């Protein structure tokens, strides 16, 4: 299941040519964004994922060189039906690649993020998320834990056993300037308190500093009663609109009928 994705993530992260090329492009002013999007649903299920955004300049350079940094990940997703890979071309020309999967409950959600960095070496770059989810009987939800974005320590190349290229401090500085890392937690209800930046009334974005572990806590109100219905919001809105039209029609007919039945009759 998730272990297959974890193995392919390790292969991707350890690919020295891709890592070296990406770092070189970041030195020229290109930017990347790495996010762990987490969505908790009112019915107790959740969506786990990882996303990477390549800005238009970085994407253009990689395309010109014929390099697909997500090739290994695409192969992993194709081999594991539990995961889904989505490529979203954004208005500014950037590309967001999202790997996600649905999980049945909170324990499985926690396990997915525990497994993803499993087996990485100390000098491998990684986004590590340790979660705890608590759901109250009344419907309130608390998501807490720690998150850290670990920059690469080396570019992955060595000559006669000696690492070459930028050292750990220089790489950390480069990543801090050119890479945005974050955890985004979307709650089933309206936010009550959180440690990040409110993206909307139910989503908190926790921005990470490279090399530093950050504790976070996100608390939400009980979800609206209709959120647990087996329909999405758009379907519910359409249904409500149709119901309003029908109700309006009935009221109009009743009004006309009352007018037609005059007291003098």
Banded pLDDT at 185 (limits 50, 70, 90)? very high
Distance (Å, whole) CA 81 – CA 101: 9
Task: Specify the pLDDT at position 39.
Answer: 97
pLDDT digits (tens, 9 = 90+) for 110-125: 999 998 776 666 666 7
DSSP string spanning 155-201?
-S-EETTEE-SS-HHHHHHHHHHHEEEEEEEE-SS-EEEESSEEEET
Helices (H) and strands (E) in the chain, counts: 7, 13
Mean pLDDT computed over 185-193 = 96
Mean pLDDT check: name the lowest of 169-183, 225-239, 240-254. Answer: 225-239
Residue 188 backbone dihedrals phi, psi, to 5 degrees: -75, -15
pLDDT digits (tens, 9 = 90+) for 133-157: 999 988 899 999 999 988 765 544 3
What are the sequence ranges of the domains in the chain? 2-227, 231-260
Taking 50 as the threshold, does the pLDDT of residue 86 lie above it? Answer: yes
Helix axis angle for 168-178 and 16-27, nearest 10°, is: 60
Taking 90 as the threshold, does the pLDDT of residue 63 lie above it? Answer: no
The SS3 call for residue 118 is coil
Structure tokens that stand for 109 in this block? 């959600």
Banded pLDDT at 251 (limits 50, 70, 90)? low
């Amino acid at each position: 299941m998730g272990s297959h994705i974890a193995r392919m993530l390790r292969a991707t992260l350890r690919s020295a040519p891709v890592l070296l090329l990406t770092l070189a492009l970041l030195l020229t002013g290109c930017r990347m964004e790495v996010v762990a999007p987490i969505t908790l649903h009112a019915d107790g299920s959740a969506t786990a994922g990882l996303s990477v955004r390549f800005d238009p300049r970085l994407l253009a350079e990689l395309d010109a060189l014929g390099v697909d940094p997500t090739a290994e990940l695409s192969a992993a997703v194709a081999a594991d039906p539990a995961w889904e890979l989505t490529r979203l071309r954004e208005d500014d020309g950037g590309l967001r690649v999202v790997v996600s999967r649905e999980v049945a409950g909170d324990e499985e959600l926690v396990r997915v993020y525990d497994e993803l960095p499993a087996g990485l070496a100390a000098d491998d770059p990684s986004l590590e998320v340790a979660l705890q989810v608590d759901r109250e009987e009344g419907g309130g939800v608390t998501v807490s834990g720690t998150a850290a974005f670990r920059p690469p320590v080396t570019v992955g190349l060595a000559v006669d056993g000696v690492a070459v290229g930028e050292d750990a401090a220089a790489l950390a500085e480069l990543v801090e300037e050119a890479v945005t890392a974050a955890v985004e937690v979307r709650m089933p209800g309206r936010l009550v308190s959180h440690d990040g930046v409110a993206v909307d009334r139910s989503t908190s974005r926790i921005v990470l500093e490279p090399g530093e572990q950050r504790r976070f806590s996100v608390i939400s109100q009980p979800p609206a009663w209709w959120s647990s219905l087996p329909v999405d919001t758009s379907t519910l809105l359409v249904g409500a609109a149709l119901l309003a039209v029908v109700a309006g029609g009935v009221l109009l007919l009743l009004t006309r009928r009352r007018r037609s039945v005059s007291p003098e009759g």
